[in-house]
Amino acid sequence: MSTLPNFIYYFKPDKHKISFCLKQPESIVGNLIYNFSQEPNAMKKTKLIVIASGIFVLCLSIFYHPMQMSAAPVAIEQTSGKELFEKNCAKCHGSDGEAKTFRGKFTHARNLTTADFQSNTSDEQIADAIRTGPKAMPSFEKKLSADEINALVQYVRTFKK
């Protein structure tokens, strides 16, 4: 069984330098305690920030465990047509599709609930309007997938009165 040496190395921080000394183990604790009350406040704050940052980095390195990536493909969650409509269309067309919002009136958004619109507009025309964005309507071709556009078309069809 090994025994501890009578003297060990430690460091003692001073105001402008760090000195390394040999001391007996019993006196290490007394020499390592640093008296912050002798320094100006700015220096105290700086040292406390450096010490806190060091402790934070140490804790991150100890407790951070990266997630394991699975080899199996993850299914992309399907977003419903209602959620897509609320997120992308309701600002102008309104939640009910009647385009009675301030923005809808300002941009002359189409009322999606009228019998004329529902009977005379094909699903392909609605999908094309979503992709290209007629008049003041923005284009969603690069923002939404084909499946999301089809989900929106099906949701617009639910406004039929």
pLDDT at 20 over 50: no
Count CB neighbours of 85 within 10 A. 21
The token pair that represents 112 in the structure block: 């999606």
Question: Does residue 60 fall inside a structural domain?
Answer: no
Whether residues 85 and 144 fall in one domain: yes
Q: What is the pLDDT of residue 42?
A: 65
Please answer whether residues 98 and 112 qualify as being in contact, where contact means their C-beta atoms are separated by less than 8 angstroms. Answer: yes
CA distance 32 to 19: 11
Across 2-6, 45-49, 88-92, 102-106, least confident range? 2-6
> What band does 41 get if pLDDT is binned at 50, 70 and 90?
low
Give the residue numbers spanning the domain of 35: 7-41
Please answer whether residues 101 and 86 qualify as being in contact, where contact means their C-beta atoms are separated by less than 8 angstroms. Answer: no
Q: What is the pLDDT of residue 46?
A: 80
Question: Does residue 54 fall inside a structural domain?
Answer: no
Count CB neighbours of 80 within 10 A. 13
Question: Does residue 104 fall inside a structural domain?
Answer: yes
Across 21-25, 124-128, 146-150, least confident range? 21-25
Whether residues 85 and 153 fall in one domain: yes
Whether residues 86 and 134 fall in one domain: yes
CA distance 129 to 125: 6
The token pair that represents 105 in the structure block: 């009136």
Mean pLDDT to the nearest integer, 85-105: 92
pLDDT at 62 over 90: no
What phi-psi label fits residue 78: left (phi over 0), alpha (psi between -120 and 50 degrees) or beta? Answer: beta
Its pTM surpasses 0.85: no
Q: What is the pLDDT of residue 14?
A: 53
Question: Does residue 134 fall inside a structural domain?
Answer: yes
72 — phi, psi (to 5°)? Answer: -75, 140
Question: Does residue 129 fall inside a structural domain?
Answer: yes
The token pair that represents 151 in the structure block: 């989900």
71 class by beta-carbon count within 10 Å (0-12 exposed, 13-18 middle, 19+ buried)? exposed
pLDDT at 152 over 90: yes
Work out how many domains the chain is built from and give that number: 2
Question: Does residue 58 fall inside a structural domain?
Answer: no
pLDDT at 84 over 80: yes
Q: What is the pLDDT of residue 10?
A: 47
CATH number at residue 90: 1.10.760.10
Whether residues 85 and 143 fall in one domain: yes
Whether residues 95 and 145 fall in one domain: yes
> What band does 68 get if pLDDT is binned at 50, 70 and 90?
very low
The token pair that represents 91 in the structure block: 């600002």
